[in-house]
Structure 1
Amino acid sequence: MAADGKLELYQDNKGEWRWRRYASNGQIVGASSEGYKARADAEANANRDGSKDKWEFYEDKRGEWRWRAFATNGRQVGRASEGYKARRDCEHNARLNGWMG
């Protein structure tokens, strides 16, 4: 996580634990893409070593750049919470969430 950011762990409507990462300006810069039964599992997912993940950058239906991260077992473990006009802005956001570039 970026030094100026904040990590929030919360329970969703199904009672599963998820995480959101915020930048210092309050904008959400990353979020879990699945829920976890245990809070500790969501926290471990949020703080894992992203250098081992497979990162995918793509343009969504609106033509905005987004990222997804996949663990070595192929499960999606993170995603961009918003689209970006420029790929470099999307890559900056991914770096805040563990992408090594």
Structure 2
Amino acid sequence: MTIRIISFGFGHAAAPTADLVFDLRALLRNPFHNPELKHRTGLDQDVYDHVMTTPGAERLAFNAVATARGLAEETGADVTIAWGCTGGRHRSVGLARASYEL
């Protein structure tokens, strides 16, 4: 069994097919509105920190991974987690990174 993690932007296309899809647009602070972070991504440490210090971000990542692991163990099937934000560069990438690191 495998847990796949996808990040995407709702502004580019519909959500990809996944077992767990999370819309982060209204949940997490958007680094896009900070001129120093706007042109960076969730792979950059300062953007990642900005996203992950939003209250609830760490818990959301942890719970998503725990749910995916539980589904995979129960079914024996692969599970896909998809994290989406507006542009698919900041919040979704940050949560995908956090999920991967768990």
When the two structures are superposed, what TM-score results if normalisation uses the length of structure 2? 0.30
Quick check: which one's strand share is greater? 1
Quick check: which one's helix share is greater? 2
